[in-house]
Amino acid sequence: MKLAFELPPAQADQLQQEARRLGVPVDDLARALMSDLLSAPDAEFASVAGRVLVKNEELYRRLA
């Protein structure tokens, strides 16, 4: 999927500076940042999943 959007000048400058610092093309850095964002579980999901695991710990132990 190809996306196109405009960043505010300050954010664009920051992205370009970081890409230069890392020695990677801006597009690659933006792609990596988006990938990291999308692959990280959101905090609410992680919290609910943790509660479910604790609540059902005994059941999981019996099933194992």
Place of tokens 């500076």: 17
The predicted structure's pLDDT at residue 16: 97
Residue 59: per-residue pLDDT: 82
pLDDT on residue 20: 96
Residue-level pLDDT at 14:
96
The answer to whether the CB of 5 falls within 8 A of the CB of 12 is: no
Q: From first to last of the 64 residues of the chain, give the pLDDT tens digit.
A: 888 989 999 999 999 999 999 999 999 999 999 998 888 878 888 888 888 889 888 887 888 7
- What pTM, to 2 d.p., does this model score? 0.63
